[in-house]
Amino acid sequence: MRANGETRLETLKKREQAIKDAIAIERVRRQRREEKLQERLAGVIGSAALAYVVDHPEFRPALKELLQSVTGESERKLLRAKGWL
């Protein structure tokens, strides 16, 4: 009887681990999906800002100031190289 009880316990522990693994995989999938959505959102907003600057050049100084304040050094280096800072 004891061996049977231990076998059942081992089976339940394996199931528990499988569920934990499935949860971890799903969390990673959701995180990746959210990151892709954030990248897409940034692209849409960036494209809209660039298009707006073309039609409204007076907006460019405000955009430059915003870019300076919210970007890291490597991003500022890129923006400088492209004439945005």
pLDDT digits (tens, 9 = 90+) for 34-84: 999 999 999 999 999 999 999 999 999 999 988 888 778 898 898 889 888
What Rg do the C-alpha atoms of the chain give, in angstroms? 26
- Whether 6 shows a pLDDT value over 70: the answer reads yes
Best mean pLDDT range from 4-13, 16-25, 65-74 = 16-25
pLDDT at 3: 65
**Among 84, 75, 81, residue whose Cα is nearest residue 50:** 84
Number of separate domains in the chain: 1
72 phi/psi in degrees, rounded to 5 = -85, 175
Take residue 50 and report the two structure tokens written for it: 């660039």
Range of the domain at 16: 2-81
> Given pLDDT bands bounded at 50, 70 and 90, which one contains residue 4?
confident
For residue 84, which amino acid is it?
Answer: W
- Whether 2 shows a pLDDT value over 70: the answer reads no
